[in-house]
Chains A and B, each alone.
Chain A
Amino acid sequence: MDRELTRAELDELLPLFALDALDGEERAQVERYVARDETAHAEVESLREAIALLPPAGLQAPASLWSTIEGSLGAPREHPAPPLRLVSPPAAPGRRRARRPRRVAAAVLAAAAIVAVTVLGVQVVRQQHRIDNLAAEMHRDPMRQQALAARASKDSHVIRLGGTAGNGDAEIVMLLDGTGYFMDHDLPALDRGSTYQLWAKVGDPDSPRMVSLGVLGADPDVVPFRLSAPATMFEVTKETAPGSTVPDESSVMMRGAVT
Chain B
Amino acid sequence: MEHDLRDASDAALVVAIARFREEALGEAYRRYGDAAFGLAVRVLHDHALAEEIVQEVFLRLWNDPEKFDPGRGSLRAFIMATVHSRAIDLVRAESSRRAREARHDRLHPHAEYELEREIVDLTVAEQVRAALDGLTDDERRAIELAYFGGHSYREVATLLAQPEGTIKSRIRVGLRRLRDSLVESGITSAWTES
For chain B, give the interface size range.
Answer: 35 or more
A134 and B65 contact, Cβ closer than 8 Å, known pairs A66-B29, A66-B33, A228-B183: yes
Which residues on the B side are within 8 Å of A215 (C-beta)?
189, 192, 194
A56 and B66 contact, Cβ closer than 8 Å, known pairs A46-B183, A65-B51: no
Please measure, in the bound complex, the distance between the C-alpha atom of A74 and the C-alpha atom of B130, giving whole angstroms.
45
Interface core residue of B25, B70, B80, B128 (most chain A CB under 10 Å): B80
Which residues on the A side are within 8 Å of B47 (C-beta)?
62
A53 touches B65 (CB 8 A): no
For chain A, give the interface size range.
Answer: 35 or more
**A72 located at the interface, meaning its Cβ lies under 8 Å from any Cβ of chain B in the complex:** yes
A21 and B171 contact, Cβ closer than 8 Å, known pairs A77-B63, A78-B64, A143-B71: yes
Please measure, in the bound complex, the distance between the C-alpha atom of A46 and the C-alpha atom of B119, giving whole angstroms.
18
Q: In the complex, how many residue pairs between chain A and chain B have their CB atoms under 8 Å apart?
A: 248
Which residues on the B side are within 8 Å of A119 (C-beta)?
none
The 8 closest A-B pairs by CB, nearest first: A212-B186, A214-B189, A61-B37, A59-B38, A214-B192, A50-B179, A21-B146, A55-B39
Task: List 20 A–B pairs whose Cβ atoms lie within 8 Å, in order of A's numbering.
Answer: A13-B168, A15-B171, A15-B175, A45-B77, A48-B73, A53-B187, A57-B118, A58-B38, A62-B37, A62-B51, A73-B62, A131-B18, A137-B69, A138-B15, A212-B185, A212-B186, A214-B188, A215-B189, A217-B9, A227-B183
Which positions in A face B, CB cutoff 8 Å? 12-13, 15-16, 18-23, 41-42, 45-62, 65-66, 68-70, 72-73, 77-78, 127, 130-131, 133-135, 137-138, 142-143, 178-179, 192-193, 198, 202, 211-217, 223-229, 241-243, 245
